[in-house]
Copies of this chain bind each other. A is one copy, B any other.
Amino acid sequence: MIKITAKPIDVQKVIDTASSLGAGAVNVFIGTVRDSVHNKHVRWLEYEAYESMAVAEIRMIIDEAAHRWQLQGWAVSHRVGTLKPGEVAVVVAVAAVHRKESFEACQFIIDAIKAKVPIWKKEVFEGGEAWVSANPPLVIHSN
C-alpha cells in the first residue's frame, strides 16, 4: 500500500498492512510534527505533494528495498495538508524474516523518500513561515 492522504494516518492500519505470517520482524518509522524547530515555536506545517509522481517514486524505492532485503510486506502512508505539532506526517512499515533486514530496509526507504520524492513542507511559525529546503532530488533520469 502506498498512500498520499489528506486524512489523519491510522498507524495501526499501516502496520497491519505490512505484517505477514512469514515475518518475524516489523520495523516502523513514524515522522511526526515537532512543536519547535531551531528554537522557534511551530504553529503548523503545510505539506503538499505532486501526488501521482510521488506515488511512482515511492513505488520505485519500495521495489528496490523489497528485492534487496527480501521483504515479506510493506506499507507507506504520507500525509498532505495542514498538520499540527504531534500529528503524524509519514509512516513506513516493513516486515522481514529477521530484524536486521527490517531496520535496514525501513531506514533506506525513509531516507530515500526524504531525498527523492516530490513532497514539500512549509513551516508556519509565530510571525512567519518558511519552505523547508531539505534536499535537491538526487536521481536524475535522462532519456
Contact = CB atoms under 8 A, between A and B. Distances in A.
Interface in A1-46: 11-12, 15, 19, 21-36
Interface range for A: 20 to 34
A110 interface: yes
Contacts of A19: 32, 86
B29 A27 contact: yes
B26 A32 contact: yes
Contact of A99 (B27, B29, B86, B99): B29
Contact of A11 (B15, B23, B36, B86): B15
B12 A34 contact: no
A31 B24 CA distance: 6
A30 B26 contact: yes
A74 interface: no
A101 to B, nearest CB: 12
Interface string A84-112: 01100000000101010011001100100
Given A29-B27, A102-B29, A35 B12 contact: no
11 contacts: A15-B30, A19-B32, A19-B86, A22-B36, A23-B32, A24-B32, A25-B30, A26-B29, A29-B102, A99-B110, A103-B103
